[in-house]
């Protein structure tokens, strides 16, 4: 008798205090593969005030090939006008997702209804503004019924994490190749060659001027040392 009372009470409390979030991953780039499903996850973090000992945190994965996912039994702060905040962060190894963060707000209304609101983040501004600041960003509200929608922007760009080192000097990435490929490097090399080669050319073309120039240079040097 006592046990069943506790059970019923527990059930009632759960109905009142716990709730769930439904989400759907709308995949527009063909069919979801098993690999993509396995490498896509949804993390939920409780922020702000919490009634439990530690802020709630959980991870969930896609439930089916249609992209459904769900968070159940969330701890909600009790009391009229009490709010509970969660941040839903979505990640995939294979795709860039949007919104990648969603702020979820639960408000316990006076008539007993638990209202759920969702706000998406702006790209590049991953943290949601604190209510304590004077002019916080106005958040874009998104639909939460029948589910939160996460969509795909694009396939995550493939990155090669290593590059084969090339030893041939004539190759594009070799020493000569890299100089020939860069206008500035090429200009530098030509300038250096001209500076060194000019006196020699002058010697061949106009020996008299070369002699005069050399004497001038010598004179200048002597003056320098004399000072
Ligand atoms: C996606 O899956 C459906 C049903 O399993 C199949 O008919 C369709 O050909 C698939 N499309 C691609 C692009 O693989
Ligand atoms: C947390 O609770 C305190 C006291 O009840 C309240 O002043 C504050 O605004 C709450 N913070 C949030 C984020 O709800
Ligand atoms: C809850 O919020 C509503 C609307 O802001 C307000 O009218 C009401 O007095 C609040 N109730 C409590 C108990 O704070
Ligand atoms: C409680 O109030 C909200 C907003 O005022 C309303 O949408 C909701 O239907 C109400 N719930 C009940 C059970 O009256
Ligand atoms: C230059 O090096 C790359 C990378 O090692 C190689 O794929 C390419 O065939 C080389 N090109 C020439 C012209 O040797």
Question: What does the pLDDT look like over 22-72, one tens digit per residue?
Answer: 999 998 888 888 888 899 999 999 998 888 889 999 999 999 888 999 999
User: Which atom from ligand 1 is nearest to the alpha carbon of 30?
Assistant: 13
The contacts of residue 94 (CB under 8 Å, 6+ apart) are 35, 36, 39, 40, 155, 156
- For the chain, what's the residue count? 227
Q: What's the predicted TM-score (pTM) here?
A: 0.64
Cα 31 to middle of ligand 1, angstroms: 6
Which residue has a Cα nearest atom 4 of ligand 5?
Answer: 166
- Going from the Cα of 107 to the center of ligand 4, the distance in angstroms, rounded, reads 12
For ligand 1, say whether the CB of 28 is within 6 Å of any of its atoms.
no
Q: Give the residue, out of 113, 114, 117, 144, with the most ligand 4 atoms within 8 A of its beta carbon, to mutate for a pocket test.
A: 113
Closest ligand relative to 112 C-alpha: 4
Residue to substitute in 160, 165, 166 for testing ligand 5 pocket (most ligand atoms within 8 angstroms of CB): 166
- Tokens 């205090």, residue located: 17
Report the range out of 3-12, 99-108, 168-177 with the highest average pLDDT.
99-108
Fold of 2-155: Immunoglobulin-like (2.60.40)
| Domain ranges across the chain | 2-155, 175-226
Strands (E), 6-138: 18-26, 40-47, 57-61, 68-75, 83-92, 95-98, 101-108, 114-120
Residue 156: its pLDDT value, please?
74
């Amino acid at each position: 008798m006592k046990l069943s009372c506790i059970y019923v009470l527990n059930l009632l409390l759960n109905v009142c205090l716990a709730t769930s979030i439904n989400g759907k991953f709308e995949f527009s780039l063909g069919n979801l593969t098993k690999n993509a499903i396995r490498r896509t996850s949804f993390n939920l973090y409780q922020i702000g005030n919490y009634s439990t000992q530690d802020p709630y945190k959980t991870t969930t994965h896609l439930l089916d090939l249609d992209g459904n996912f769900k968070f159940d039994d969330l701890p909600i702060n009790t009391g009229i006008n009490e709010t509970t905040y969660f941040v839903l962060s979505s990640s995939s190894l294979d795709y860039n997702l949007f919104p990648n963060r969603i702020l979820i707000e639960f408000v316990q209304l006076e008539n007993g209804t638990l209202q759920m609101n969702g706000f998406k983040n702006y790209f590049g501004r991953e943290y949601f503004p604190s209510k304590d600041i004077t002019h916080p960003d106005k958040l874009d509200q998104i639909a939460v019924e029948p589910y939160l929608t996460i969509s795909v922007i694009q396939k995550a760009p493939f990155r090669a994490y290593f590059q084969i080192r090339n030893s041939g000097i004539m190759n594009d990435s070799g020493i000569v190749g890299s100089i020939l490929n860069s206008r500035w490097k090429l200009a530098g090399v030509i300038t250096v060659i001209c500076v060194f080669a000019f006196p020699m050319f002058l010697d061949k073309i106009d020996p008299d001027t070369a002699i005069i120039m050399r004497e001038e240079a010598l004179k200048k040097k002597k003056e320098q040392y004399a000072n």
